Structure 1
Amino acid sequence: MKRVSDLIQLIIYCALLGSGVGFLAGLLGIGGGLVIVPILSIILLHFEVLPSDQVVIGAIATSLASILFTSTSSAIAHHKNGNVPWELAPWIMTGVALGALISGFMAALLPEQVVRMVFAVSVVLMGLKMMLSGKNQASNDRNMPSRALLTVLTTITGGLSAMIGIGGGALLVPLLTFFSVDMKKAIGCASACGIVIALFGSIGYVTSGSSQFALSDGFAGFVYLPALFGIVSTSWFTAPLGAKATQTLPVATIKKIFAALLFVMAANMVVS
C-alpha cells in the first residue's frame, strides 16, 4: 500500500463488499466467503497489497476472519427466529472445528493455482447439487446418521470450507437437507457453525503466515487487517436483514439464489 488515500479507498471498497456479503450470509447461511474471496482477490491485486502468487491465500484468510463476525451476527438473528437446531449443533461444530484447524495450516502450503481450482470445482458441485435437488423440504425421509458419523462428515466439510475461505453453509446446507433437515434450520445451523469454522481456520492461517508478514504492515499472518475492518464494518449490520428475509422468502427461491451465486463465483475464479 503506497499512500494513505489508497488505504482509505481499499477500506471503502471492502465496506461496500461487506454490505452485500452480510445480507447474503444471513439469507443463505454461507458466511459470505464465496463472494468475498474472488472480489477481495481483485481488490488486493489492484492495490498491490500482496504478490500475485499469494493474493488468493490472503483473500481466503481475510475472508475467514470476517466470517467470524458476520456469522456471529447472522447466527444470533437465526437463533432468535428459532432456526438453529441446537440438538445437532454441538456434534456438527466439533467436526467442523477439527477440519478447519487442520485445513488452515494445509492450505497455506498448497500452490495458489491448486487452491483456486479447488475453490472453483467445489462451488460448481455445490451449485449443481442445490439446483437439481428439487424443492427441498424433508420429503426424502432420510434418517440423520449416528453422531460419530455426523462428526466425521462435518470434519470433511469444515476442512474444505476453511481451505477455500467459506463459512461452511455452502457445504453444510446441502448435507443437512440431504438428511431431511428443514432448509431454514439447515441455514441457521450453518450460520452457527460458520463461527467455529472461521475461528479455527483463522488460527491456522494467522499462525502459518506469521513468519511471512508483519503486523506493522497491516497483517495478522495471512489476514489483511484493513480489508477485514472494511468488510466487518458493514456486514455485521446487514447479516440480520438477510436472516429476517429467510422467514418470508420461499425455500425454492432461496435454493435458486444459492445455486446461481455459486455458479457466478466459480466462473469468476476460473476466468481471473
Structure 2
Amino acid sequence: MELITFLVIGALAGFAAGLFGVGGGTIIVPLLFIVFTQMGYSPDVVMHLALGTSLATIIVTSISSLMAHNTKGSVMWPVFKNLAPGMALGCFFGAGVAGLISGIHLQIIVGIFLLWVAYRMFAKAKNQTASSTSNTADQDTQFNEIALPSTPKQLAAGGVIGIASAIFGIGGGSLTVPYLTRYGVVMQKAVGTSAACGLPIAIAGALGFMFFGMQQKIDVPNTIGFVHIYAFLGISVMSFFTAKLGAKVAHILSPAMLKKCFSVLLTIVGCYFLYKGLR
C-alpha cells in the first residue's frame, strides 16, 4: 500500500511540475508531509523526511531537465562550474542545519517560503507579457557582455543557494534563476543553467539528509537517514512519465491562468504549514 501511495504522489507531482513549470519539490514536500503524518511517523522527523526524500527524487528529474536544456544550448557551463561546488557543499551541510532545526520550526520556514513563491508566481502571471525572442548568436553576445560577480563571489552565492535548497527541499531553481537574471543573463540561459545546478544540489542534499539522518538514528522503517526508499522509488518513476503529460496539457491552457491557480494552491499549502507550526 505504501508503494502505491508513493506512485500516486509521483504521478501528481510530475504532472503538476510539467503543468505549472516548477520544480517538483514545491509539490512533493507538502504531499509527503501529509502522507508521512498519516502513516504515524513522529512529528519531530516528518518534515525532515519530506525534505530529504524530495531532494532525492529531484536527482532523477534534474537529469532529464539538464539533458533537454543542454540540447538547446541554454546551459552556461562556465557559470555552472563556478556555482556548483558551493551549491553542493552548501546543500550537504544545509541538510545538517535542517537536522538541527525542530520539525515545527521547519514547517514555519517552509510555509513562509511557499507563500513567497506563490506571491512571485502570481505577480509574474499578472504582469506576463510576450517576451521578445533572440537568436543564439545574440544571446551568446549578451552572455559575453554580462558582468557576473567574481568566481569567489559566485562560489559563495552557490553556498547560500545550496543551504537554502536543503532547508526548503528544492532543486534551487527558485533562487538560482533570480540570481542569474539579476546580472542580466537572458531567461532561457538562466533556466537552463539552473536546471544543471539542480543535479549537484539534489545529489549533495540527498547524501546530506542520509548522513545526518543516520547520525540521529531515527526509528522509521524503509529509510536511509532522512530519505524514505519506497517514496524515492515510487515518486521518481511516476514523475518521470507524468511530467511530460503535464507539459502537453500546459500548452493547451493559458500559462497566466495556470500560474495563478498554482499560486493559490501554494498559498493554501503555505498557510497550512504555518497553521501546523504555529499551533
TM-score by length of 1: 0.81
Q: Identity over the aligned pairs, expressed in percent?
A: 34
Structure-1 separation of matches of 2:202 and 2:196:
10
The worse-fitting range, judged by mean Cα deviation, of 178-187 and 107-116 is: 178-187
Change (3 A) 1:175 1:104: same
Q: RCO higher in 1 or 2 (8 Å CA, sep ≥ 6)?
A: 2
Within 5 Å, give how 1:118-129 maps onto structure 2.
118-129=109-120
For the Cα contact (< 8 Å) 1:142–1:178, is it kept in 2? no
Structure-1 separation of matches of 2:189 and 2:259:
14
The worse-fitting range, judged by mean Cα deviation, of 196-205 and 80-89 is: 80-89
- Residue 171 of structure 2 corresponds to 167
- Residue 37 of structure 1 corresponds to 29
* 1:229 CA drift (Å): 1.2
- Residue 90 of structure 2 corresponds to 99
- Residue 13 of structure 1 corresponds to 5
Structure-2 separation of matches of 1:183 and 1:120:
27
Within 5 Å, give how 1:75-224 maps onto structure 2.
75-132=66-123, 134-135=127-128, 143-211=147-215, 212-213=217-218, 217-224=221-228
- Residue 240 of structure 2 corresponds to 236
What one-letter code is carried by the residue in structure 1 that aligns with 2:51?
I
Change (3 A) 1:249 1:186: farther
For the Cα contact (< 8 Å) 1:83–1:185, is it kept in 2? yes
What one-letter code is carried by the residue in structure 2 that aligns with 1:104?
A
What one-letter code is carried by the residue in structure 1 that aligns with 2:27?
V
What one-letter code is carried by the residue in structure 1 that aligns with 2:74?
N
Q: Which residue among 43, 52, 64 is the counterpart of 1:73?
A: 64
Structure-1 separation of matches of 2:199 and 2:193:
10
Gaps of 5+ in 2: 133-144
Question: Which is helix-richer, 1 or 2?
Answer: 2
After superposition, give the CA deviation of every residue in 1:31-77 in whole Å (9 maximum; x if it has no partner). Answer: 311111111111111122x2122111111111111111121122222
What one-letter code is carried by the residue in structure 2 that aligns with 1:168?
G
For the Cα contact (< 8 Å) 1:32–1:166, is it kept in 2? yes
Structure-2 separation of matches of 1:208 and 1:95:
19
Structure-2 separation of matches of 1:170 and 1:261:
17
The worse-fitting range, judged by mean Cα deviation, of 118-127 and 200-209 is: 118-127
- Residue 38 of structure 2 corresponds to 46
Structure-1 separation of matches of 2:237 and 2:247:
18
Structure-2 separation of matches of 1:253 and 1:148:
40
Q: How many residues get paired?
A: 261
The worse-fitting range, judged by mean Cα deviation, of 238-247 and 221-230 is: 238-247
Gaps of 5+ in 1: 1-7
Work out which of the two has the higher radius of gyration on C-alpha atoms and give 1 or 2: 2
The worse-fitting range, judged by mean Cα deviation, of 89-98 and 128-137 is: 128-137
Change (3 A) 1:188 1:239: farther
Structure-2 separation of matches of 1:255 and 1:167:
19
